[in-house]
């Protein structure tokens, strides 16, 4: 069995159901721009609110500590690797996961994001909207920054960037309220 056949058998990929024409060609033509924006998102101020209706001062403090600790760890990783291409490489890999979800090829006649576990899939996002959601996610949540750098859960992030980020935040809030 070839790797391509094995992947098609093992990995579910629901087809995209776009309400308008996809813009993957335009995104690919502007790849450098999008990669640069992803790299800039790593240095942007992170989200400081929990987005929880039941936020308390203690929860807010735990949120701030989590964001600060995670973003600091990511920054230290970037510095310790001392490779000027680290962020660009991570963003490039992530962009190719996006292309896989959108580009029609002979081996991918019905593109769509990979389904991983219980990941939510948004099959109606056109390519540029998916990339914009990814950029917002990297900017907002330190744990997402770490996931991108370590290449962890990228298919789930690409499948629905907004849901992925919301789940990261909700998990932190839920874990803190259980304490």
Q: Please give the pLDDT value at position 147.
A: 93
H helices of the chain, where?
3-10, 24-29, 31-41, 57-81, 86-102, 127-140, 142-150, 154-159, 161-178
Residues paired with 12 in a beta bridge = 115
Q: Please give the pLDDT value at position 164.
A: 92
- Pick left, alpha or beta for residue 126 (phi over 0 → left; psi -120 to 50 → alpha; otherwise beta): beta
H helices of 82-141, where?
86-102, 127-140
Q: With a cut of 70, which residues of the chain have pLDDT below it? A: 4, 8, 107, 116, 179
Q: Please give the pLDDT value at position 13.
A: 73
> Encoding tokens for residue 99?
């292309």
Average pLDDT for the chain: 87
Query: What are the strands, taking DSSP E only, across the chain?
Result: none
Place of tokens 């973003």: 71
Q: Please give the pLDDT value at position 107.
A: 67
Q: Is the pTM of this model over 0.95?
A: no
């Amino acid at each position: 069995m070839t790797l391509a056949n094995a992947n098609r058998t093992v990995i579910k990929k629901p087809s995209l159901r776009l309400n308008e024409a996809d813009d993957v060609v335009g995104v690919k033509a502007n790849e450098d721009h999008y990669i640069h924006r992803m790299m800039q998102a790593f240095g942007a101020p992170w989200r400081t609110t929990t987005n929880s209706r039941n936020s308390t001062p203690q929860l807010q403090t735990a949120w701030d500590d989590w964001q600060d600790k995670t973003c600091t760890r990511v920054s230290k990783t970037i510095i310790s690797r001392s490779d000027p291409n680290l962020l660009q490489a991570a963003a490039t890999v992530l962009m190719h996961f996006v292309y896989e979800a959108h580009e029609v090829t002979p081996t991918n006649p019905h593109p769509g994001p990979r389904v991983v576990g219980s990941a939510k899939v948004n099959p109606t996002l056109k390519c540029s909207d998916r990339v914009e959601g990814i950029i917002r996610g990297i900017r907002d949540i330190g744990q997402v920054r770490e996931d991108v750098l370590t290449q962890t859960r990228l298919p789930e992030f690409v499948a629905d960037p907004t849901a992925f980020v919301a789940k990261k935040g909700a998990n932190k809030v839920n874990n803190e309220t259980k304490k």
